[in-house]
Copies of this chain bind each other. A is one copy, B any other.
Amino acid sequence: MKHWKSESLRLYLVTDNALSKGRTLTDVVTAAVAGGVTCVQLREKNLSSRDFLAQALAIQAVLANTQVPLVINDRIDIALACGADGVHLGQSDLPVAQARRLLPAHVFIGWSVETLADVARAHSLPVNYLGVSPVFATPTKPDTETPWGLEGLRLARQTTALPLVAIGGIHMGNAQEVLQAGADGLAVVSAICSADDPRHAAAQLQALSQAHFQEGH
């Protein structure tokens, strides 16, 4: 069990098997953790429940002796069965209040926000952090809403004191701006999963993030 702290958001890997260039998720996660990711979210929309759980238990084993929490996307049952540290809920997943009732108190909840109204609504919900999604347009989740952009992220930052992790189209070329706009962390999919060297890609992003937060932002 890894207790919630907002520093876990700093470099947040969201897995995508289809974008991992034929490598196993276990291999990608192992490399990403060696490179410095601070959180791993397992997102699987196409696996059977049994395969999803097997995948989650394999990733749990990779993370066992680290400080890196495992977050399960959407599936409370998988999170409970694998002993995940957190869950992440989108707007079409279980309502936050219902998820909270099903989870032990130490399991943290992240929630994707697509509008400033969502951000405002989060204040009355039992969420530990918000996922500002998508910051930039991305082929990973083509069905989501209009991107927030950096200006939208700044507005979200002004609207809430909840920790914000930004996701969607983030890479080395724009990560600095995302942090300067007020994100507490960078969530990436393809910038690590699809990198030729996931460990190196994670290490570069980690160094950039560390430099930003050491400057006292």
Contacts and interface: CB of A to CB of B under 8 A. Distances in A.
Interface of A: 48-51, 53, 74-78, 80-81, 91-95, 98, 101-102
Contacts of A51: 92
A102 B104 CA distance: 12
Q: Assembly of this chain: how many copies?
A: 2
Task: Determine the main DSSP class of A at the interface with B.
Answer: helix
Residue of A50, A53, A74, A95 with most chain B CB atoms under a 10 A cut-off: A50
A48 B98 contact: no
Contacts of A53: 94-95, 98
Contact of A92 (B50, B91, B98, B102): B50
Contacts of A81: 76, 94, 98, 101-102
Contact of A93 (B50, B93, B102): B50
A53 B92 CA distance: 10
A48 B95 CA distance: 11
Contact of A50 (B77, B78, B94, B102): B94
Contacts of A48: 92-93
Contact of A80 (B49, B50, B91, B102): B102
A15 B105 CA distance: 35
A114 to B, nearest CB: 14
A119 to B, nearest CB: 19
Most B-side CB within 10 Å, residue of A51, A94, A95, A101: A94
A49 B102 contact: no
A117 to B, nearest CB: 17
In the A-B complex, the 3 residue pairs with the smallest Cβ-Cβ separation, listed nearest first, are: A76-B77, A48-B92, A77-B77
Contacts of A77: 75-77, 80, 94, 102
Contacts of A93: 48-50
